[in-house]
Amino acid sequence: MIGRDPNLKVSTADDGFHPPSSNDVTWIETMWFPFWVPEEGISASVRVWFSPNVRTEAGVGQQGGAVAGWKGASQGLFGDRWTEAFRTDPNLLDLQVGNSLSIECLTPLEHYRIRHAGSHSSLSLEFEAMMPPNPVAPEESPGMFAGHFEQSGHVTGELVIRERKISIDCYSIRDRSWGPRQMPEELRLGNSHGACEDFAFFTYVNPTPDGVEKITSGYLLFDGVEAAIVEGIRETELRDGLPVSVKIEAVDATGRALRARGTCRNVMASNAGNGVYAVLNLIEWLHEDGRVSWGENHDVWSETAWLAAGRPKL
């Protein structure tokens, strides 16, 4: 990728499990595959996590995950969730978890098959990458990750909710992270991303103390060229403390401009635990050249910072 720090790398080994480098109980590894039904404003995701250093009464770590979907204003549509005993050295290339979910790596760093048969939903999906993974520098989210990467791709397949079959054909992203998760007391960060055929972007947002939503990194894939985002600004329009529209302007390492206005098609505001609040939106992006892409906008706050901004407790 043009303009990316050459010290930031992803290898095929990063599709596997990363053994903890310390006994820190906050060490966690995650896999996340979001997808959506744009015409209905439905967001959904598959998330799996591993906390090998947590010790239960049985003296073992924990792992778990969720297959869940929502629309509107935090209106849950389905949710299958579980927590179970950690299985030593899990095989993330051919993963079976929760007695209902499987994630199979068909081609490392490129192609994945996800299947789930739960009590509230079932699905059969494939994720095919549009580009190599983009590693994120640890300083972009201080204390939260030792390793972290994003990767835009195409998701196809079928979702079944209460016997209703929904075809899935969307451009999305996958996210992998691992390391100690030490949440700063005054946490405030976010990201915005979107994709359509032969086009994708991801912007990492680190607001300044005075509230300016500064874009500090990310990438732009356009005309077959991948380049790092070097600077930019996100502007968020709020209603009752929650986003209703987003504007992004950024520049990549080749000098190309990324300009888009996003309309929020749903919102999920939740207390993620450990004093962290998260707001997710499905976004319909209208770009300067007239193209339309779909993706998400994420805003992550510490509870302290959220309440200090005059927002209601979640």
CATH of the domain at 145: 2.40.370.10
Last residue of a domain, one of 131, 149, 182: 182
- Same domain, yes or no, for 215 and 311? yes
User: How large a percentage of the chain has pLDDT more than 70?
Assistant: 99
**Tally of domains within the chain:** 2
Contact 115, 128 (CB under 8 A): no
Has residue 236 got a pLDDT over 80? yes
Nearest to 298 by CA among 138, 272, 111: 272
- Same domain, yes or no, for 129 and 277? no
What was the pLDDT predicted at 143?
64
What was the pLDDT predicted at 162?
87
Last residue of a domain, one of 163, 182, 201: 182
Q: What is the per-residue pLDDT across 147-189, written as a single tens digit (0 to 9) for each?
A: 999 999 999 999 999 889 999 999 999 999 999 887 777 778 8
Hey, what are 226's tokens? 């991948």
Residue type, 249: E
What is the average per-residue pLDDT within 130-142?
A: 87
What is the average per-residue pLDDT within 105-134?
A: 96
Confidence label for 8 from pLDDT (cuts 50, 70 and 90): very high
- Same domain, yes or no, for 216 and 113? no
Whole-number Å distance between alpha carbons of 288 and 297: 18
- Same domain, yes or no, for 203 and 215? yes
Residue 8 belongs to a domain: no
Residue 208 belongs to a domain: yes
Nearest to 136 by CA among 8, 12, 50, 283: 8
Distance of CA 206 to the CA centre of its chain: 16
The pairing of strands 292-302 and 188-196 is antiparallel
Has residue 142 got a pLDDT over 80? no
- Same domain, yes or no, for 172 and 207? no
Hey, what are 168's tokens? 């899935």
Residue written as tokens 């986003």? 243
Residue 18 belongs to a domain: no
Whole-number Å distance between alpha carbons of 245 and 11: 36
Q: What is the per-residue pLDDT across 244-276, written as a single tens digit (0 to 9) for each?
A: 999 999 999 999 999 999 999 999 988 877 778
What is the average per-residue pLDDT within 236-250?
A: 93
Could you list the residue range(s) of the whole structural domain that residue 230 is in? 186-314
Q: What is the per-residue pLDDT across 179-221, written as a single tens digit (0 to 9) for each?
A: 988 777 777 889 999 999 999 999 999 998 888 999 999 999 9
- With left for phi above 0 and alpha for psi between -120 and 50, is residue 143 left, alpha or beta? left
Residue 111 belongs to a domain: yes
Q: Who contacts 20 (Cβ-Cβ below 8 Å, separation ≥6)?
A: 27, 52, 53
- Same domain, yes or no, for 172 and 216? no
- With left for phi above 0 and alpha for psi between -120 and 50, is residue 7 left, alpha or beta? alpha
Hey, what are 287's tokens? 């770009």
Last residue of a domain, one of 159, 182, 205: 182
- Same domain, yes or no, for 48 and 154? yes
Q: Classify 304 as helix, strand or coil.
A: helix
Q: Where are the alpha helices (DSSP H) in the chain?
A: 303-308
